[in-house]
Amino acid sequence: MRTHENTAAPPTVTPAAVISGIGSCLPPRVVDNDAVIARGALLTDPGWIRARTGIERRRHVSPGTSTGDLAVGAGRAALASAGGVRPDLVLLATSTPDHPCPATAPEVAHRLGLGTVGAFDVSAVCSGFLYALAVAAGLVRGGVCAAPLVIAAETYTAIVDPADRTTAPIFGDGAGAVLLRPGGRDEPGAVLATDLGSDGAGRAAITIPGGGARHPRHLPPPGPDAHFFHMEGRAVYAHAVRRMTRSSEAVLRRAGWGAPSVRAFIGHQANQRILDSVGDRLGIAPDHRYGNIRELGNTAAASVPLVLADPAVHRAVVPGERTLLTAFGGGFAWASTALTWPDVRPVAEEPDAGQPTEHSATGPPAAEPDAAPASTSTSAPAASPVFVPSSPL
């Protein structure tokens, strides 16, 4: 008796997805702590912001610049870094899309000249980049695509109340991106293990209460500031430290690594004290921890790829060295990734013409970092320190 035979060739399984390009896009407008305080008439001082968060400056978009604009810049920069490879999929991690509907990714793909490639948004707040990276890496390993472009872009100035002392000093705008390709697990830039988690019981701790299906805009809002971003800082702090630590431990086990062997640790740039606590609990040496929170603040989903794009970090870390990424955000949702440091040259692009540093009339001006020229292949965003010393607080 003859049986039906499936003659279709099985999909090719790739050992790993490898980072082949890294790009970034930062608004040129630098806003220091004095300016944030003056803008919102906040009852605080620059020293308090710096001591509690580790933040001294952040970038803000100019009027008319959107998340999609930043995403296009970061995507174009990543493609230049990879040598002009044409992506076959675009994933955009953001919690500040240009519109509630449609997704922002298809327009980004169109503006990048990618025609009708697949494109979709990933919404996991500050963990969005690592969620999107996990999805893209899985699609590469499964043979579904060969060159996914993963972008994380945010314009939190669109959703943060400038008069809210708990959020206004924290957030900045920016975008980072990576391009993936099929490759071997022993190559620099190989994504080796991921860990994803969530806990919807914490949904109210990081939220925009109004504007969705639960509280549509045509109904009375649940509060006068319901369309602004809200965060319960104390609860988020405790969850972020615990979840990022446990997720990092889980992904290290999957990779077969011990924490002391990690040579580059990049956590979501939420708060310097959170980063210090996670690094200490994991046992990762301070000189192997990297960040840019002092100069860029919390850029939500974009924070991890912006550190990956920092040229100072690339000068400090050797390609192929063990790298741990971790993030925590609204949902609650968290994620960690183990990879080897990529052997690529990051590229930076600006969304518009440079503007002077913004500072208050009474406070001293903040130093303007050297602006990277648009579409340059020689540098990524200047400004971020390689290592911010641990805060004693």
Query: Catalytic residue numbers?
Result: 126, 268, 298
Q: Please state whether beta strands 190-198 and 333-340 pair in parallel, antiparallel, or not at all (unpaired).
A: antiparallel
**Angle of helix 233-255 relative to helix 272-282, nearest 10 degrees?**
40
> In whole angstroms, what is the distance from residue 81 CA to residue 77 CA?
6
First to last CA, the chain: 77
**CA proximity to 350, closest of 21, 83, 24, 64:** 24
Kindly provide the residue ranges of all beta strands, DSSP E only, lying in 72-228, ordered along the sequence: 89-93, 118-122, 148-155, 173-183, 190-198, 206-207
Tokens of 190: 């190989």
Length of the chain in terms of residues written: 393
Query: In this structure, are strands 173-183 and 190-198 parallel, antiparallel, or unpaired?
Result: unpaired
DSSP assignment of 13-69? PPSEEEEEEEEEE--SEEEEHHHHHHHHT-S--HHHHHHHH--SEEEEPPTT--HHH
SS (H, E, C) 314-330: HHHCCCCCEEEEEEEEC
Cα pseudo-dihedral 107, 113, 119, 122, rounded to 10: -60
The answer to whether the beta carbons of residues 304 and 248 sit under 8 Å apart is no
DSSP string across 202-243: GGGGEE--SSSSSS-TTSPPSSTTTTS-EE-HHHHHHHHHHH
Token match 């001082």: residue?
A: 45
